[in-house]
Structure 1
Amino acid sequence: WNIEESTEHEAVIGGLLAETTYSVTVAAYTTKGDGARSKAKVVTTTGAVPGKPTMMISTTMGNTALIQWQPPKEMVGELMGYQLQYKRTDEETFTSLELSKTKDHHTVTELHKGATYIFRLSARNRAGAGEAYVKEISTPEDLPTGFPLNLKVTGLTQSSTQLTWEPPNLKERNGKITYYRVVYKDINNQQDNNSNTTETHLTIEGLNPDTTYDIRVQAFTSKGAGPLSPSIQSRTMSNDFPTLNFGVKAVTKTSVLLTWDLPENYKSQAPFKILYNQQSVEVEGNQKRKLITHLQPDTDYSFVLTSRGIIAGGLQQQVSIRTAPDLIKAKPVSQTPQDGKMTINLPKVQTTTRVRWFYIVVVPQTQSMQRWKNPDEVDLEELLRSREGPMLRRRRHVESPRAYVAAKLTHLPPTFMLGDGQDYMGFKNKPLTNMQEFQWFVVAVLRNEGTDGTANYHLQTFYYQRRWVEEEEEGEACSRQTLPGGGSSPDPGE
């Protein structure tokens, strides 16, 4: 209601019954008595939700489940119907059905064989759905009815072929895949060869050079083998091709470091060519590594190394990778350095499920060292080898400062103290050097198949100037600030 003279325009009426309809009117009153009543408003109170029903589930041979139930023993208010939800335990979302109050059974069809399902049944009144009765069932396994997907070659040598694939479609697996069988043969020979693996990748060894092979793969459950996949053909490299062991040394979110070997007697200066994404990069014939940059995060790439003038036909090597995901969006923050130490605030990582280690890397800047534009330029393997003995460290003492790993961590804390002098899993977090400009960043080493991927965080720059207290001849202590020119000036507080 709306009365200008009154500030009380609402009231709470307690002590009502659940699931009951009431007629409500409002009247104003004074010391002389009540006024006229308002038009009646009809409202119905809600009530407590029902208890859980009882449920039984029986499966049939036709990939169906019969769900039967009885109403809740503790029923409050009028029963409006039932809500049935179900899903595979390895799926994220439920399938939800609203059923009428007169139903006492329902048949779910098209269940997958060899899967575990969770069912939830709850009764519903005007107040909402009550507690659910929860039950799990498992359907019997069968032979896979689908074949593995996306079979492809990811690497080649003169005597081997590296393969990857994906499991069959979920509904066609018909149980847990226990292993895969790769079936291959020389196209000029009818004899099949087999190799088994529990993984979704395999390297076939002992092949003949410059030979084309027909390759297929099939999945197995505890009940037996599924159908073979469509075949692909792969030609091993010729012995005339000079490179060996073309592979991936490191992967970041925007770059990949490719490496290869050369025979000891290889003298040719003819350049190699790396092909990827309709692009071509030339590499001098005596080089054995190449950093490919400006890639997209979390993206599949295939790289082919070939000699200039050599076309398809086996005289090339190929590797496939997926760049690291962009795990972090926000920039880390540096606080003011003091006494050889500095606190850094580290952003939260989106996920740690694939992270093996975190490395905090410090890069002292000198006139002879060009400032890095991107942490992806770091050679992590070289940094990890930098834990030398005392003799080499003494020799380096007179050299220019070098990049180093300050800490190795299993998880990334919210804050970290650079220069605290502590040992972190074999890496010394040494105090920061006075009058030295630094850059720092964090490298997350991911768990990958075959090679470690690294996801590098934003590069941070800071300039450290140490304050110290020195004794004067008279015994008085004064605080001084180091200047870039090497001198000192009194502290402003003096």
Structure 2
Amino acid sequence: MVYVGEAVPTGEPLNITTTALSSSEMRVTWSAPDKNKQNGLIMGYKIFYWQQTEPHYRLNSDLNGNTHKSVYYEQPREMMEIVPDTTESFILLDLIKWSNYSIQLSAFNPAGDGPRSRAIVVETKEDTPGPVGALVFDEITMSQVKVSWKPPVEPNGILLGYYVMYETLINDFSKQVKQKINDNYLVVNGLRERVMYTFKVRAETSAGVGPETIGNVTTGPQPGSPPPPTDVISTQTLTSVKLKWKNPDYRAITGYLIEANNLNIKGALEWQPVSQIKNGRQERYELSYTHLAPSSQYTF
């Protein structure tokens, strides 16, 4: 009798299944290779797994100065778990949320490792998103502000929208508003003039809403804004109001925002934008009555 010794397995593990248990956990199950391909005593299994990478694009220039776009993928970092032959199930932990993973298995005996199985791709579950980017405020007037933000760096799922809440807590006036939107910006009207508002924005996935990003803004003139025009005069025609003014000593004027207060509305304290001029320095403007309510008295 001649004993040749053991050889590495020539068969891979069989009946491999993968199940996402959560946004960061995954169960892998399998069965042993065919008996006639084990080539000795199976001592255990190796589970190889790595996160699939997204394509990246870059511009390259040739010797003639022509540019073209190329695509490349970052080299994935492969991880490995070793389990004994007594188990045919294992839970992978600390995975990246809402990500695709490739998984392969191999069996090993005293002679070495057998072939890897065909890669299986499985996606971890969605989770609540990370915070949105810093809140940016612009187009600020006495009664209006535009707030915008960048989507979360870690969406952790398909974004279903954003919850925006804004409030003010001054002594004589308190107001809190909450609404859901799909865009990553919101224009808010009807604000009190020269009042500080606190905005809070949260992103949402099917798993729920994420942490809030907070920012403060005060309505009215902002630091760096030009001084107001002076000597404003209004005269009426049959179809419009003609406005005249004197510009302040400020060279960087790019336009004007015309706001009006309807004195016929009892207790009206809010200025409403009625027109915007964006073509540089001027000292007169004709405002059509179509921008105003009929039979009303206004202050501009």
The TM-score with structure 2 as length reference comes to: 0.52
2:118 pairs, out of 132, 135, 140, with 132
Please give the per-residue CA displacement for 1:92-115, whole angstroms capped at 9, x wherever unaligned.
Answer: 7455114256363321124566x3
- The one-letter code matched in structure 1 to 2:247 is S
Q: How does 1:309-348 map to 2 (within 5 A)?
A: none
Instruction: Verify the 8 A CA contact 2:129 2:205 in the aligned structure 1.
Output: no
Structure 1 residues 174 and 266 mapped into 2: Cα distance closer, same or farther (>3 Å)? same
Instruction: Verify the 8 A CA contact 2:23 2:124 in the aligned structure 1.
Output: no
**How far, CA to CA, are the matches of 1:196 and 1:183 in structure 2?**
9
Structure 1 residues 206 and 241 mapped into 2: Cα distance closer, same or farther (>3 Å)? farther
Instruction: Verify the 8 A CA contact 1:52 1:132 in the aligned structure 2.
Output: no
1:207 pairs, out of 143, 168, 191, with 191
Q: Taking every aligned residue pair, what percent have the same amino acid on both sides? A: 17
| Deviation of 1:185 (Å) | 2.1
Instruction: Verify the 8 A CA contact 1:85 1:97 in the aligned structure 2.
Output: yes
**How far, CA to CA, are the matches of 2:29 and 2:167 in structure 1?**
54
- The one-letter code matched in structure 2 to 1:186 is T
**How far, CA to CA, are the matches of 1:223 and 1:97 in structure 2?**
29
- The one-letter code matched in structure 2 to 1:268 is N
- The one-letter code matched in structure 1 to 2:137 is V
- The one-letter code matched in structure 1 to 2:32 is P
**How far, CA to CA, are the matches of 1:167 and 1:52 in structure 2?**
42
**How far, CA to CA, are the matches of 2:79 and 2:245 in structure 1?**
67
**How far, CA to CA, are the matches of 2:32 and 2:119 in structure 1?**
11
Residue 51 (structure 2) aligns with: 87
1:196 pairs, out of 180, 183, 191, with 180
Q: How does 1:40-51 map to 2 (within 5 A)?
A: 50-51=11-12
Instruction: Verify the 8 A CA contact 1:123 1:132 in the aligned structure 2.
Output: no
Q: How does 1:282-431 map to 2 (within 5 A)?
A: 284-285=251-252, 288=254
Structure 2: runs of 5 or more not aligned: 56-73, 230-241, 256-300
Residue 93 (structure 2) aligns with: 109
Instruction: Verify the 8 A CA contact 1:55 1:133 in the aligned structure 2.
Output: no
**How far, CA to CA, are the matches of 2:114 and 2:12 in structure 1?**
11
Residue 5 (structure 1) aligns with: none
Structure 1 residues 116 and 127 mapped into 2: Cα distance closer, same or farther (>3 Å)? closer
Residue 445 (structure 1) aligns with: none
Residue 82 (structure 2) aligns with: 99
1:184 pairs, out of 162, 166, 180, with 166
| Deviation of 1:182 (Å) | 1.1
Instruction: Verify the 8 A CA contact 2:107 2:113 in the aligned structure 1.
Output: yes
Q: Which has the larger radius of gyration?
A: 1
Please give the per-residue CA displacement for 1:24-66, whole angstroms capped at 9, x wherever unaligned.
Answer: xxxxxxxxxxxxxxxxxxxxxx999754643123454795322
Structure 1 residues 213 and 81 mapped into 2: Cα distance closer, same or farther (>3 Å)? same
Please give the per-residue CA displacement for 1:163-217, whole angstroms capped at 9, x wherever unaligned.
Answer: 23344563xx664321101111234233212343223333323434333211111
Instruction: Verify the 8 A CA contact 1:89 1:116 in the aligned structure 2.
Output: no
Q: How many residues align?
A: 208
**How far, CA to CA, are the matches of 1:107 and 1:64 in structure 2?**
7
**How far, CA to CA, are the matches of 2:191 and 2:23 in structure 1?**
45
1:122 maps to 2:105? yes
Structure 1: runs of 5 or more not aligned: 1-19, 22-45, 244-262, 272-283, 290-494
Instruction: Verify the 8 A CA contact 1:53 1:132 in the aligned structure 2.
Output: no
Structure 1 residues 72 and 151 mapped into 2: Cα distance closer, same or farther (>3 Å)? farther
Partner SS, residue 156 of structure 1: coil
**How far, CA to CA, are the matches of 2:17 and 2:218 in structure 1?**
57
**How far, CA to CA, are the matches of 1:112 and 1:211 in structure 2?**
43
Instruction: Verify the 8 A CA contact 2:26 2:91 in the aligned structure 1.
Output: yes
1:157 maps to 2:132? no
| Deviation of 1:69 (Å) | 1.6
Structure 1 residues 265 and 52 mapped into 2: Cα distance closer, same or farther (>3 Å)? farther
Instruction: Verify the 8 A CA contact 1:81 1:99 in the aligned structure 2.
Output: yes
Instruction: Verify the 8 A CA contact 2:142 2:220 in the aligned structure 1.
Output: yes
1:265 maps to 2:244? yes
Residue 260 (structure 2) aligns with: none
The TM-score with structure 1 as length reference comes to: 0.34
Structure 1 residues 98 and 107 mapped into 2: Cα distance closer, same or farther (>3 Å)? closer
Question: C-alpha root-mean-square deviation of aligned residues, in Å?
Answer: 4.4
1:220 pairs, out of 204, 218, 232, with 204
1:57 pairs, out of 6, 12, 18, with 18
- The one-letter code matched in structure 1 to 2:195 is T
Q: Which has the higher contact order (CA 8 A, sep 6+)?
A: 2
Partner SS, residue 176 of structure 1: coil
| Deviation of 1:118 (Å) | 2.9
- The one-letter code matched in structure 1 to 2:122 is E
**How far, CA to CA, are the matches of 2:176 and 2:51 in structure 1?**
41
**How far, CA to CA, are the matches of 1:48 and 1:265 in structure 2?**
92
Residue 236 (structure 1) aligns with: 219
